[in-house]
Amino acid sequence: MPPPGVCLNIVEARHKQDGQGSISNPSFLFGQDYLQLKEFCITKRVKFIDNMFPPDMRSIGQGLLSPSHLAHVVWLRPAKIVQNPSFVVREFSRFDFCQGILGNCWFLASIGALTFHDKILMQVVPVKQGFEENYCGLFHFRFWRFGKWVDVVIDDKLPTINGRPIFVQSKKQNEFWPSLLEKAYAKVCGSYADMNAGTLAEAMVDFTGGVHMCIQLSNPPSDLWESMSRAGRFGALMGCSTPKGESPSLSLCPNGLVQGHAYTVTGVIQVMSRGKPVKIVRLWNPWGKGEWNGDWSDQSSIWKTVSPQDREKCLSVAEDGEFWMTLEDLCEFYTELDLCGLNPDFLDEDSSGLWRSSIAEGRWVAGTTAGGCMNNRETFWTNPQFRIKVWKEISTRTAAKNMLVSLMQKPDKRNRRLVQNFHIGFTVFEVKEKDQPHKGKFPASFFSAQKPAAQTKTFINAREVMEFLTLMPGEYVIVPSTFNPNETSSFILTINCRTETLC
């Protein structure tokens, strides 16, 4: 029997920590076992060639390169590019690389955040692989993909033109971990072209398998600074995005920011300027260049108003894509802030170890379990339903939020660009004792007579939607749904609940 309060048909995530698909026991993408493949290559004295992601045009994908450029692409192993290739030189750093011709700033900005957290980085990038002993042209990386960790093997043949990699660029010509990590994720997505355009949240969750929260900076919460500071202390990944411009292509604004672009949050600090505290945020552009030129930028005279110690600690005038700005400017010029941690501890002050995660997988099937949103009164009740109990009222010390609910669509296509995301959301209803059904689902009459206790603010066309909720003691039913009825898709419902509420 599940422990009291666990959602009906939902298992606690910690029960699956060591099972197939856990970080310690990942699944093999396409059944390719890294250790077996490496032993075979060493025994046979051959270098690995990955037939599941072959070094040819199929892996580059459609529409990314012009025919004239494709004609000049040559796939080379690192030893054919430089004389003494290294997997990593000294240590992993955001300054190791810059974005190539591929529109995957969302992925590279997430890697920039990843380099601050060795524990998470080592999960994604296994150690003890390189170009030295037992090298056989084989590498592997790990990503969390829709409920499970997968180990992804690749060969080290990289697409080049004139002897240089055409996608992510390493600033040290003999360092190849960025190019190989990018190739592994391209394999997961289906091709390099399938990595064009995306969101920080997608890559951050795939790097951590953890808890993600998105904050709309156009209407920031009053505790935004506290949330960012706490996320930094708990080792959460942070990034933010600028609004899209009128042009479909990226354009540089007069203030130095790029429209429709992802940035890594690399620092959060308060300094004294002219006798007053100022909250400033450090950001990094994955282009490896191109910086904000307003207040607190590298050349700003405002730096003369802070102490020499703060100036020495914070200010760098290198053209490396990294810069500072105030929290107010962050909210004015960026649209979203994404926070993602291994666990929910960063969600609340003094809450380390006080959260529990539960997860369920489900599916909407046209004609049976895809009833659409509440606008469809006759069919809404046919959607999957999940029940939870909140046993104890949260204390006033812990603010108002006691539950983070996430709904993620699970694709059924290999190529990321072919995935059709529906507009999704979820609705939460309180269940009174008189409402208890004899068996099975709550009927249409239950939902017709009820007002939602909580719900997503809007149904959006995204891989994942989430809401940070307050639920008082009682029993509830959560109904995930697409906006329109009869849309077939799989989903993952994750509930992160404060243990003091015993939900």
Query: Hey, is 482 helix, strand or coil?
Result: strand
415 has catalytic annotation: no
- Please give the Cα distance from 214 to 336 (Å, whole number): 7
- State how far Cα 45 lies from the chain centre: 38
Catalytic residue from among 104, 189, 214, 285: 285
* Token pair belonging to 230: 């706490």
136 has catalytic annotation: no
- State how far Cα 86 lies from the chain centre: 28
- State how far Cα 61 lies from the chain centre: 23
Burial of 378 (0-12, 13-18, 19+ CB in 10 A): exposed
- Asked if residue 429 lies in contact with residue 475, where contact means CB atoms within 8 angstroms, the answer is no
- Please give the Cα distance from 499 to 154 (Å, whole number): 41
For the chain, how long is the longest CA-to-CA vector? 76
Strands (E), 418-488: 423-431, 454-455, 460-461, 464-469, 474-482
The residue behind tokens 């993952």 is 492
Catalytic residue from among 7, 41, 98, 105: 105
* Token pair belonging to 386: 């999940």
User: Which residues, including other chains, have CB under 8 Å from residue 5's CB and lie 6 or more apart?
Assistant: 388, 389, 390, 391, 502, 503
Catalytic residue from among 98, 261, 331, 340: 261
- Please give the Cα distance from 272 to 20 (Å, whole number): 51
- Asked if residue 453 lies in contact with residue 477, where contact means CB atoms within 8 angstroms, the answer is no
Neighbours of 55 (CB within 10 A): 21
Question: What is the three-state SS of 28-83?
Answer: EHHHCCHHHHHHHHHHHCCCCCCCCCCCCHHHHCCCCCCHHHHCCCEEECHHHHCC
423 has catalytic annotation: no
- Which of 12, 6, 36, 65 shows the shortest CA–CA distance to 386? 6
* Token pair belonging to 243: 């609004």
**Could you tell me whether strands 27-28 and 148-155 are parallel, antiparallel, or unpaired per DSSP bridges?**
parallel
Q: b/e for 477-502, b at 16 or more Cβ within 10 A?
A: bbbbbbbebebebbbbbbbbbbebbb
Neighbours of 8 (CB within 10 A): 13
Strands (E), 80-223: 97-98, 138-145, 148-155, 158-161, 164-165, 169-170, 211-216
> Annotated active-site positions, please?
105, 261, 285
